[in-house]
Amino acid sequence: MFSPGPAPLSSNPDVEALARYVVEELQRVGAANQQVNYLTVAVQSQLPQRAENGMLAYFTAGVAGASEGFYGYEAGTWVKL
């Protein structure tokens, strides 16, 4: 899991220090994403306000379909996976 390090803040920020910070943090984000072995998904008890193609969610029974489980949003419909 990624958690950002402290940013180099001061009354007169050094552009090079900020650039180094951004590059290092992006490298840390990339490394954290490569180390994901399992993903925990929060159980949802209501549909999102705005769904987009490609969304994945775990819904309680009766929210997106008759049964609890993983659903994917495709072409305007939640599909049980």
Strands 56-59 and 43-44 come out as: parallel
DSSP 28: H
pTM: 0.58
Residue 34 has pLDDT above 90, yes or no: no
Token look-up 């009766």 returns: 62
SS3 state at 72: strand
Token look-up 């925990």 returns: 40
Distance (Å) of CA 17 to CA 2, 23, 28, 55: 21, 10, 16, 37
Which tops the pLDDT comparison, 2 or 62? 62
